[in-house]
Amino acid sequence: AAGLMASPASAYMVYVSNEKDNTVSVVDSATMEVVKTINVGQRPRAITISHDGKLIYLCASDDNTIEIIDTATHEIVGSLPSGPDPELFVLSPDGKTLYVANEDDNLVTVIDLESKRVLAEIPVGVEPEGMGVSPDGKTMVNTSETTNMAHFIDTATNEITHNVLVDARPRFVEFTPDGSEAWVSAEIGGTVSVIDNATREIKHKITFEIPGLRAESIQPVGVRITADGKKAYVALGPANRVAVINAETYEVEKYALVGQRVWQLAFTPDQKTIISTNGVSNDITFIDVETDEPVQSVTVGALPWGVVVSPN
């Protein structure tokens, strides 16, 4: 017992963007307690972290900017020229480029992080939101909520090469670790489209059924896939659940009950835990990846939306 006590679980910092009260909650993953609250810009949504863990990038959507936060001091140390209403973004695998969805002007903005300059603006469909990038960095995908498309973009040319029609209101894109598939969630359509990255065609559609819930209350948003490519997790919005999916057979194996209105998901680096943001209940839930059982919920700020975990 003494040996077990001397070797606690790895501690990571969890950063949660709280859309309503304009804060970021910092949660210690070992103690599952809020250790700091950072005041940020208006309507913070997407949040990510540099590969070295030193800087957080945060979409302050109503301020039309991306704020840079130093993880050592928890101070805002700069900003990026994001374009109007940045909603979601994705960091390139080499950590040098940020791809940002600008909902109000139907563009994807490409930002060089070293120079803090806009490299390109890519016209896409109406109300762009979801952003994903392939592990090799060659393909970036944006989803347009109103056009109901996944736009495949060549990162070398910053041009759209394929448009794939998906179900209504696509919200998120996640590539499999081998880059062979892009998973696109459709919030109103209630599905996840699995798109073959070679053919750019839908190879499977995942649907969800939860006893006692109407289909319209099952609204897929955030998607995460384990590093071994075997399991996928999908946040189901007002269904208050996270679906656990066999990523090889596409079968839903379980629904983990979490807080209310599940938006986004993030793994801890050791992949032992996945964390959900629950907007309406103002908390996050830690889920054990081995058992797929919720472990604990932690109250954060008002309307938690995005979540990212320190890499070390």
pLDDT at 6: 31
Query: Which pLDDT tens digit goes with each residue over 56-108?
Result: 999 999 999 999 999 999 999 999 998 889 999 999 999 999 999 999 999 99
Determine the 3-state secondary structure of 144 from DSSP: strand
**Percent of the chain surpassing pLDDT 70:** 97
Average pLDDT over residues 231-258: 98
Average pLDDT over residues 204-224: 97
pLDDT at 39: 98
Could you tell me which residues come within 8 angstroms of residue 250 by beta carbon, excluding any fewer than 6 positions away?
Answer: 194, 204, 206
Q: What mean pLDDT value characterizes the chain? A: 95
pLDDT at 273 over 50: yes
Q: What does the chain come to in residues?
A: 312
The residue to which tokens 């540099």 are assigned: 50
Average pLDDT over residues 192-220: 97
**Percent of the chain surpassing pLDDT 90:** 94
Of 80-94, 223-237, 276-290, least confident by mean pLDDT is: 80-94
pLDDT at 2 over 50: no
The DSSP bridge partners found for residue 244 are: 233, 254
**Which two tokens mark 242?**
């996270």
Asked whether 243 and 236 are in contact (CB, 8 A), the reply is: yes
pLDDT at 82: 87
pLDDT at 83: 83
Determine the 3-state secondary structure of 274 from DSSP: strand
pLDDT at 119 over 60: yes
pLDDT at 97: 98
pTM of the model: 0.96
Cα(278)–Cα(44) distance, integer angstroms: 15
**pLDDT band at residue 9 under the 50/70/90 scheme:** low
pLDDT at 7: 32
> Would you say the C-alpha torsion 138, 17, 215, 232 has a positive or negative sign?
positive
**pLDDT band at residue 10 under the 50/70/90 scheme:** confident
